[in-house]
Amino acid sequence: MTQSTATPAPRAARRSVWRAVSRRVLRVLAPVLRPVRDWQAPRIHQWMMHQASKPIELPGKSALVIAPHHDDETFGCGGLIALKRDAGVHVKIVIVTDGRQSHGSVPGTDVDALTQTRKREALRAINILGVAGEDVHFLDLPDQGLLKLDEARRKQAVAQLADLLRTFRPEELYVNHRTDRHPDHEAAYRLTESAIAEAAVPLRVNQNPNRLIWKGPCRVSLRPKDLAGALRLDVRAAQERKDRAIALYASQLPVLPPGFVGQFQQGYELFFPTERAN
Residue 1: which pLDDT band, with cuts at 50, 70 and 90? very low
Given a contact cutoff of 8 angstroms between Cβ atoms, the answer to whether 116 and 99 are in contact is no
Q: Is 44 exposed, middle or buried (0-12, 13-18, 19+ CB in 10 A)?
A: middle
Residue 75: its H or E element = helix 72-86
Partner residues linked to 56 by β-bridges = 233
**DSSP-assigned letter for residue 268:** E
Residue 125: which of 271, 264, 233, 272 has the closest Cα? 264
* Domains located in the chain, CATH noted: 36-274 (3.40.50.10320)
pLDDT digits (tens, 9 = 90+) for 159-175: 999 999 999 999 999 99
Residue 155 pLDDT exceeds 60: yes
Phi, psi of 232 (to 5 degrees): -120, 125
Residue 53 pLDDT exceeds 90: no
Region of poorest pLDDT, from 80-84, 106-110, 181-185, 259-263: 106-110
Given a contact cutoff of 8 angstroms between Cβ atoms, the answer to whether 133 and 87 are in contact is no
Given a contact cutoff of 8 angstroms between Cβ atoms, the answer to whether 101 and 144 are in contact is yes
pLDDT digits (tens, 9 = 90+) for 194-233: 999 999 999 999 999 887 766 544 444 455 566 667 899 9
**DSSP-assigned letter for residue 140:** E
Contacts of 38 (CB under 8 A, 6+ apart): 257, 258, 259
| pTM, entire model | 0.81
Residue 141 pLDDT exceeds 90: yes
Region of poorest pLDDT, from 14-23, 72-81, 146-155: 14-23
